[in-house]
């Protein structure tokens, strides 16, 4: 059986993205960033309950309607951006950091360590992310921190594999041989010559990976394994709203749309950058 499975091929396909789509994605990401940085500028208190206005549909006063406690859903979505996106960003940072370290280690060491590490990456990156994260949460307990670490660990192999492949190319490059000939120390070789040249594809990968991390985070907190109510996290809001779906679709569907819009925008812009990046190299 083949363990060296390709990543889900979506991100390698050359889907041509029309310009308006790209602009729209940029606007969505801009709004998301604004909501993360300064939520109170755009929205009121996400915890302010109004018992007289419970589960009201979208209206001029409440664009996204209200939830089961009479809280404004739009206010909660805007404030939730900080929770949801910071979990995704933190998890991706962990994954990129650990992936860089392990990938460099695998690419620079000799056969046995490399073989062992690569096999582990292969097996882990093929295994369902949700299950890996669940295993970690079962050990470490539920909560935001453990959710972040769980997603970080589960997505590490993805980056580690890319870094390893890149390292194998770079370590044979003439400039590395030159540096060795000039008597550069091992640390200097790795930090000055190998690392910067390995970093190339990482930012774009991380951008697309961030979308994936946000999706998993929303999924796990939908399962009740992330931030707990009343925290306005998008996945948790969906899960709360699921109980009132028969009378108030907006309380769960609209936060879900926030997740989707963010992830699509990240994917669209990430793929666009990837295409341009690859085009420039060839």
Partner 1 sequence: MITAIARRVASGAIVLWAAATAAYLALLAAPGDIVDAIIGDGADTPQIRSQIIAEWNLDRPAIVQYLDYLLRAAQGDLGRSYLLQRPVRDVIGEQILPTLKLAVAAAVFGVVLALILAVTTRHRWVRRVSSTAELIIVSTPPFLIGIVLLSVFSFRFGLFPVSGDRGWAGLVLPAITLGLPIAGVLAQVLRDGLDRALDEPFAVTARARGLRERAVLVRHALRHALMPAVTLLGWLSGVLIGGVVIIEQVFGRPGLGQVTLQAVGNGDMPVVLAVVVFAAAAFVLINTAADLAYLLIDPRLRRS
55 close to 66: Cβ distance less than 8 angstroms: yes
Nearest distance from C-beta of residue 189 to partner 1, angstroms? 33
Q: Counting contacts by CB under 8 A, is residue 80 touching partner 1?
A: no
Q: Is 244 exposed, middle or buried (0-12, 13-18, 19+ CB in 10 A)?
A: middle
Q: Counting contacts by CB under 8 A, is residue 215 touching partner 1?
A: yes
Nearest distance from C-beta of residue 172 to partner 1, angstroms? 28
Q: Counting contacts by CB under 8 A, is residue 211 touching partner 1?
A: yes
Pick from 49, 69, 264, 273: which binds partner 1 (CB under 8 A)? 264
Angstrom distance (rounded) from CA 101 to CA 86: 22
Q: Counting contacts by CB under 8 A, is residue 28 touching partner 1?
A: no
Size of the site for partner 1 (CB under 8 A): 53
Pick from 46, 209, 226, 235: which binds partner 1 (CB under 8 A)? 235
Q: Which is nearer to partner 1, 40 or 260 (CB)?
A: 260
Pick from 20, 51, 128, 174: which binds partner 1 (CB under 8 A)? 128
Residues 6+ apart with CB under 8 A from 194: 104, 108, 167, 170, 171, 176
Q: Counting contacts by CB under 8 A, is residue 19 touching partner 1?
A: no
Q: Counting contacts by CB under 8 A, is residue 73 touching partner 1?
A: no
Q: Which is nearer to partner 1, 167 or 267 (CB)?
A: 267
Q: Is 220 exposed, middle or buried (0-12, 13-18, 19+ CB in 10 A)?
A: buried
- How far apart, in Å, are the Cα atoms of 73 and each of 128, 166, 203, 214? 32, 45, 33, 20
67 close to 239: Cβ distance less than 8 angstroms: no
DSSP states along 126-188: HS-HHHHHHHHHHHH-SSHHHHHHHHHHHHHHHHHHHHHHHHHHHTTSHHHHHHHHTT--HHH
Q: Which is nearer to partner 1, 114 or 176 (CB)?
A: 114
Pick from 74, 104, 237, 268: which binds partner 1 (CB under 8 A)? 268
Q: Counting contacts by CB under 8 A, is residue 1 touching partner 1?
A: yes
Q: Counting contacts by CB under 8 A, is residue 13 touching partner 1?
A: yes
Would you call 66 helix, strand, or coil by DSSP?
Answer: strand
Q: Counting contacts by CB under 8 A, is residue 138 touching partner 1?
A: yes
Pick from 225, 236, 237, 269: which binds partner 1 (CB under 8 A)? 225
Nearest distance from C-beta of residue 100 to partner 1, angstroms? 23
Nearest distance from C-beta of residue 166 to partner 1, angstroms? 22
Q: Counting contacts by CB under 8 A, is residue 137 touching partner 1?
A: yes
Within 10 Å of residue 49's Cβ, how many Cβ atoms? 16
Q: Counting contacts by CB under 8 A, is residue 228 touching partner 1?
A: no
Restricted to residues 141-160, the positions that interact with partner 1 (CB under 8 A) are 141-142
Q: Counting contacts by CB under 8 A, is residue 245 touching partner 1?
A: yes
Residues 6+ apart with CB under 8 A from 133: 147, 150, 151, 153, 154, 216, 220
């Amino acid at each position: 059986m083949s363990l060296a499975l390709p990543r889900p091929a979506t991100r390698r396909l050359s889907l041509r993205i029309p310009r308006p789509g790209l602009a729209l994605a940029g606007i969505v990401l801009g709004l998301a960033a604004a909501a993360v940085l300064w939520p109170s500028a755009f929205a009121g208190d996400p915890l302010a309950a109004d018992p007289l206005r419970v589960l009201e549909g979208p209206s001029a006063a409440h664009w996204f309607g209200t939830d089961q406690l009479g809280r404004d859903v739009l206010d909660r979505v805007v404030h939730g951006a900080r929770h949801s996106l910071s979990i995704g960003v933190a998890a991706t940072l962990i994954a990129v950091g650990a992936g860089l370290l392990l990938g460099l280690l695998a690419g620079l060491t000799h056969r046995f360590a490399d073989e062992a590490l690569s096999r582990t990456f292969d097996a882990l990156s093929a295994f369902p992310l949700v299950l890996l994260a669940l295993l970690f949460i079962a050990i470490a307990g539920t909560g935001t921190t453990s959710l972040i670490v769980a997603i970080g660990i589960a997505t590490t192999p993805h980056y580690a594999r890319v870094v390893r492949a890149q390292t194998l190319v770079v370590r044979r490059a003439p400039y590395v041989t030159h540096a060795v000939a000039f008597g550069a120390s091992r640390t200097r070789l790795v930090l000055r010559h190998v690392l910067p040249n390995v970093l190339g594809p990482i930012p774009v990968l991380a951008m697309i990976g961030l979308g994936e991390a946000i999706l998993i985070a929303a999924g796990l907190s939908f399962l009740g394994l992330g931030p707990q109510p009343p925290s306005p996290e998008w996945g948790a809001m969906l899960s709360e709203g699921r109980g009132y779906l028969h009378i108030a679709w907006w309380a769960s569907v609209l936060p879900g749309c926030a997740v989707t819009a963010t992830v699509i925008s990240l994917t669209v812009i990430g793929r666009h950058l990837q295409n341009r990046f690859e085009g420039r190299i060839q």
